Amino acid sequence: MAGSTVSGDTHPILKDDYASEWMGIEVVALDDGHATIRMALRQEMLNGFGMAHGGMIFAFGDTAFALACNQTTPSPADEGNITVASGVDINFLKPAFRGQILTAVANRRASTGRSGLYDVQIYAADPGTVTETPASAGSAPAATPPATTVPGELPTDILPGELVAEFRGRSRTISKK
């Protein structure tokens, strides 16, 4: 998969994010107000029905939301601030299963003052159906252009699968004490 695994080098809020590290989240794309991430559903992420536990889907969407809300490199005026959730809603549309690849795409919808509104779509695809361009997979000739990322859209190298959940987050920027 393209991108990089969770680390503080990818985004400062991931430096000590052990939950996202445990989930195996991979950052695919970041931009101001936008984040795309992926992870594989493992057995320990399933509920008693053999499908993704709702809390895992929620935590995955919440990570995409947090990445979209917080700048990778804050401006000097924003250095002492963090943006956190003031409230969220999630709608589970379809189940996801062990081995599937989840992709979350988070986008800012509105921002005013210290408040923001973000939507996160969460998709599930069977392994092998989440595709990458040959360039991102490392096997392309030099003439193959890399995948492009447009804020608010999936990177061009991703076929995300079926929509399994919609997450809406309300954010608030506060002082980092």
In this predicted model, which residue has the larger pLDDT, 151 or 9?
Answer: 9
125, two tokens? 């695809």
Q: How many residues does the chain have?
A: 177
**pLDDT above 60: residue 135:** no
pLDDT at residue 128, rounded to an integer: 79
Domain ranges of the chain: 4-175
Residue range 4-175, CATH number: 3.10.129.10
Taking the chain, what is the end-to-end CA distance rounded to the nearest angstrom? 36
pLDDT, tens digit, for every residue of 67-98?
A: 999 988 877 777 889 999 999 999 999 999 99
pLDDT, tens digit, for every residue of 158-177?
A: 567 999 999 999 999 999 87
* CA atoms in the 13 A half-sphere facing the CB of 9: 4
* CA atoms in the 13 A half-sphere facing the CB of 15: 3
117, two tokens? 């509104």
Please indicate, yes or no, whether the overall pTM of this predicted structure exceeds 0.95. no
Most confident listed range (62-76, 101-115, 127-141): 101-115
Across 7-32, average pLDDT: 88
144, two tokens? 């193959």
Across 130-158, average pLDDT: 46
pLDDT, tens digit, for every residue of 25-84?
A: 999 999 999 999 999 999 999 999 999 999 999 999 999 999 999 988 877 777 889 999
**pLDDT confidence bin for 10, thresholds 50/70/90:** confident
pLDDT at residue 1, rounded to an integer: 41
pLDDT at residue 2, rounded to an integer: 46
